[in-house]
Structure 1
Amino acid sequence: MIILLMFLILFFLLVIGVPVAVSLGLASLFFIVVEGIPNIVLLHNMVNGINSFPLIAIPFFILAGHLMNTGGITNRIFDFARSLVGWLPGGLGHVNIGASVVFAGMSGAAVADAGGLGNVEIKAMKDAGYDTDFSVGITAASSTIGPIIPPSLPLVIYGVMADTSIGQLFVAGLIPGLLMAFSLMVMVSWYAKIRNYPKDDHFNIKVLWNTFKRASIPLLTPVIIVGGISTGVFTPTEAAIAAVAYSLFLGLFVYKTLSFQKILKVSQETIETTASILMIVAASTIFAWILTANQFATFFADQLLSFTDNRILILLIITLLILVIGCFMETIAAITILVPVLLPIAIQIGIDPVHFGIILILNLMLGLLTPPVGMVLYVLAKVSDIPFERCVISTAPFLIPLVVVLLLLTFIPSITMWLPTLIYR
């Protein structure tokens, strides 16, 4: 009963707009006070929650993404993607997706993708005569590729919470991320056919080579990160530091687009973002400890398995639950709350923790495209200067291919697990 009251308090606080970290902390404090547990337990668990070496990767990946954005890398990526796939029907729609795939290997966050590339992509598509709704919809949908293709901030958080190899999670995200891109490109091709969207330009090998040369050095970023991790040259945390060093090298010495003032500004933004994420992780740690100590995960698993022992039905129930929670809760908070509850069930029915991590993150990415939270939609509403409600309607059709990919990944584990098994097992 007290656990139920704790959940009700948490969701009430979230609904009335209390910050996620504060909501988690107050709900946990309620349980501790009612049960008469010493308050020191609260502080002890919160400190232990963020005393983790892999979490050091978070500020460095955030900083690397900010440096890439501020250093003007996005325009080079967009131009290269334009010359690579712009000749296809609905050219700039494909360019939008291609640029997101490349940028995903640098930022690791959907909101960073939407904010960094969104302005460039939407303006170019409007200038070329594309409908605003289509431009916003494909920009929003393609931004969800960012946290699936490595590096990925949500996968780092999941890896820490689930005590699972972050390197394996990163490698596992490669094929699903590319599959998401392919499904969205199929959707763009369909739109191009029924709306008669133009090709951006004819394929030109000389233009492709020139834009590749301009973007070649930034394109090495995902190669350095993924290659370094998969070959064992460095850990995911060390890869994040390498990404920052490489971004600084590009901005200061190669393109000379970074100044002391810009570095100071992005450093402040990184500190603010990191602080908010770590506060959520710290508060959710005590929340997860309460659930674990009271065997809530076991209770929930028993209830679910008493309802059905059909593996497919259980997976569908878990997927639906994550989708619903993702609509109402910020991604990092959702990961920290859901993992202690759902991962034991997933393991019990034979799902690999790496496979479950990809399913979980993709589910939550769909939540970024749905109200009422929908952070990507809020960012694009500001970037495109159209109402939030219109962004929701524009993005809705692009949820179809992403849901199809989600179902494929859920029920065909080999799509996700082939690369991790090949490299690590």
Structure 2
Amino acid sequence: MVGLTLLIALIVLLILNVPVGIALGVASMFALMVGDTLSLTSIPQALITSCDSFPILAIPLFILAGDLMGAGGVSRRILDVCNVFFGRITGGLAIVTVLVCMFFAAVSGSGPATVAAVGTMVIPTMLKLGYDKSFVLALVACAGSIGVIIPPSIPMVIFGVSTGTSVTSLFMGGFLPGLLIGFSLIGYCYWFAKKHGYTGSKEPFDGKKAWAATWEAKWALINPVIILGGIYAGLFTPTEAAAVAAIYAYVCGAFIYRELPPKKLIKAIGTSCSTTATTMVILGCATAFTKIITIEQIPTMVTQMMMTVSDSPIVILLLINLILLIVGCFMDTTPAILVLAPILLPVATSIGLDPIHFGLIMVTNLAIGFITPPLGINLFVASRISDSPMEVILKGIVAFIIIMLIDLMLITFIPEIVMFLPNLMK
């Protein structure tokens, strides 16, 4: 009865367009009022205890690092370097967009932040060069989703905390899937540009110009090396790496590039605080929600139910992917992980799936949710920064979703894509 009340209340609240974090908290409250397993005080307790965690501290710090990179000129210099080396290729600016998103992903850990930072720079230029608007906006929205797959990744931190999986191992597991998706998008961009006659820059390669752009961006380019190298060398934890990323982004923007005056700094901090506050409310309410479903043994019931459908690992993996894809269309990444990871992880491990592999499957599914309506947060960000109606983006997004789904199947059924680097650490 408690589990049924929890599910019905959550569905009704989401249909009524109640914010996800509030919906999770209110649904938990209704469930506790029906049952007697926990008291109502467990909800405010969850709000406090869920945020009182050292690994969780990485989330606001990575969010801040991404905002400071965009405001301080770090992202623009990365774009300049990529354009110098790849701008002459057919569809060069589209390819550069994907590469910059991949690079930005190695610092920010956020999909929407990647779309906002990169899209603001490349969308006007690509439209001026004659690129189709639907293609441009869909490309930026899709490439931005790489931000949660290439480490560091905020969703991976949340998955690791909620399931007890090593965040460092999850980061290692995200490298090859992120590269797979990035190069898949680059291949499609080249084919699309070839088909529609989008040529690259006609300027011949200039070694001096390339060196000048690289030297100008040297501090931005070594940022991921410092952060990820420090994590894997054991110099600092992922949380400490997030602090290093934020401080480094501030130093670059304020003192090296001098493009982060106090007014822009305050605005960037304000944006980060707003995003962090929303995330923390969701995290706290989802913790109470997860505690209830665990006590009611809902994960065990779901595992048994899926096993009755089929005992084939392939069928179960397809079912898990289908569930996650549907959920990604309607629920943001953070609550989706917090609610579903404890439910689906036992199912995945029962068929021999490594928690790290399952974590990447889950994150990739929810990354696709960034570009699938009705939620599709990356679509809304691209629409807002380009001041274009959603219909324009939806015309071009189908091809990108198909590419992402193909990559998802490869990541799901070829475990080595995820597990190769984590296994080297053992």
Q: TM-score range by the shorter chain?
A: over 0.9
Cα pair 2:142 2:378 within 8 Å, conserved: no
**Cα distance in structure 2, aligned partners of 1:197 and 1:60:** 39
For 1:192, give the aligned amino acid: A
Residue number among 255, 266, 269 corresponding to 2:268 in the alignment: 266
How big is each residue's C-alpha offset from its partner over 1:323-359, in whole Å with a ceiling of 9 and x where there is no partner?
0000001111111111011011111111111111111
Cα pair 1:171 1:226 within 8 Å, conserved: no
Q: Paired residue for 1:347?
A: 349
Q: Paired residue for 1:281?
A: 283
How big is each residue's C-alpha offset from its partner over 1:52-72, in whole Å with a ceiling of 9 and x where there is no partner?
110011111111111111112
Q: Paired residue for 1:304?
A: 306
Q: State the TM-score, normalized to the length of structure 2.
A: 0.97
What pairs up with 1:177-326 in 2 under 5 angstroms? 177-201=178-202, 202-326=204-328
User: How much identity, in percent, do the aligned residues show?
Assistant: 40
Cα pair 1:150 1:222 within 8 Å, conserved: no
Q: Paired residue for 2:167?
A: 166
Q: Paired residue for 1:28?
A: 28
Residue 385 of structure 1: how far off its partner (Å): 2.1
Local SS of the residue matching 1:173? helix
For 1:212, give the aligned amino acid: T
Q: Paired residue for 2:387?
A: 385
**Cα distance in structure 2, aligned partners of 1:117 and 1:41:** 41
**Cα distance in structure 1, aligned partners of 2:133 and 2:42:** 52
Q: Paired residue for 2:149?
A: 148
Local SS of the residue matching 1:144? helix
Q: Paired residue for 1:13?
A: 13
For 1:302, give the aligned amino acid: Q
Larger mean Cα displacement after TM superposition, 160-169 or 388-397: 388-397
Residue 401 of structure 1: how far off its partner (Å): 1.5
Residue number among 315, 322, 329 corresponding to 1:327 in the alignment: 329
What pairs up with 1:92-103 in 2 under 5 angstroms? 92-103=93-104
**Cα distance in structure 1, aligned partners of 2:385 and 2:311:** 47
How big is each residue's C-alpha offset from its partner over 1:135-181, in whole Å with a ceiling of 9 and x where there is no partner?
11211111111111111111111111111111111111111111111
**Cα distance in structure 1, aligned partners of 2:76 and 2:180:** 24
Q: Paired residue for 1:69?
A: 70
Local SS of the residue matching 1:350? coil
Q: Paired residue for 2:133?
A: 132
**Cα distance in structure 1, aligned partners of 2:407 and 2:99:** 17
Local SS of the residue matching 2:222? helix
Local SS of the residue matching 1:257? coil
Count of residues in Structure 1 that have an aligned counterpart in Structure 2:
424
Residue 79 of structure 1: how far off its partner (Å): 1.1
**Cα distance in structure 2, aligned partners of 1:41 and 1:2:** 15
**Cα distance in structure 2, aligned partners of 1:359 and 1:101:** 19
For 2:247, give the aligned amino acid: A
How big is each residue's C-alpha offset from its partner over 1:298-337, in whole Å with a ceiling of 9 and x where there is no partner?
0000010011010011000000100000000111111111
Cα pair 1:169 1:358 within 8 Å, conserved: yes
**Cα distance in structure 2, aligned partners of 1:219 and 1:188:** 24
**Cα distance in structure 2, aligned partners of 1:43 and 1:128:** 54
Larger mean Cα displacement after TM superposition, 395-404 or 1-10: 1-10
Residue 237 of structure 1: how far off its partner (Å): 0.4
**Cα distance in structure 1, aligned partners of 2:42 and 2:82:** 52
How big is each residue's C-alpha offset from its partner over 1:68-110, in whole Å with a ceiling of 9 and x where there is no partner?
1111222211111111222221111101101111111121111
Cα pair 1:101 1:181 within 8 Å, conserved: yes
Cα pair 1:85 1:98 within 8 Å, conserved: no
Q: Paired residue for 1:88?
A: 89
**Cα distance in structure 2, aligned partners of 1:205 and 1:174:** 30
**Cα distance in structure 2, aligned partners of 1:136 and 1:252:** 30
Cα pair 2:138 2:379 within 8 Å, conserved: no
Local SS of the residue matching 1:23? helix
**Cα distance in structure 2, aligned partners of 1:191 and 1:252:** 39
Cα pair 2:162 2:341 within 8 Å, conserved: yes
What pairs up with 1:36-51 in 2 under 5 angstroms? 36=36, 37-51=38-52
Divergent runs of 4+, >4 A: none
Local SS of the residue matching 2:151? coil
Cα pair 2:134 2:394 within 8 Å, conserved: no
Local SS of the residue matching 1:233? coil
**Cα distance in structure 1, aligned partners of 2:215 and 2:344:** 46
In the alignment, structure 2 segments of 5+ residues that lack a partner are none
For 1:387, give the aligned amino acid: P
How big is each residue's C-alpha offset from its partner over 1:269-293, in whole Å with a ceiling of 9 and x where there is no partner?
2222111111111100111111111
**Cα distance in structure 1, aligned partners of 2:99 and 2:206:** 17
Local SS of the residue matching 1:172? helix
Q: Paired residue for 2:4?
A: 4
Q: Paired residue for 1:421?
A: 423
Cα pair 1:369 1:392 within 8 Å, conserved: no
**Cα distance in structure 1, aligned partners of 2:167 and 2:80:** 32
In the alignment, structure 1 segments of 5+ residues that lack a partner are none
For 2:63, give the aligned amino acid: I
Local SS of the residue matching 1:39? coil
Cα pair 2:74 2:249 within 8 Å, conserved: no
Residue 252 of structure 1: how far off its partner (Å): 1.9
Q: Paired residue for 2:367?
A: 365
For 1:65, give the aligned amino acid: G
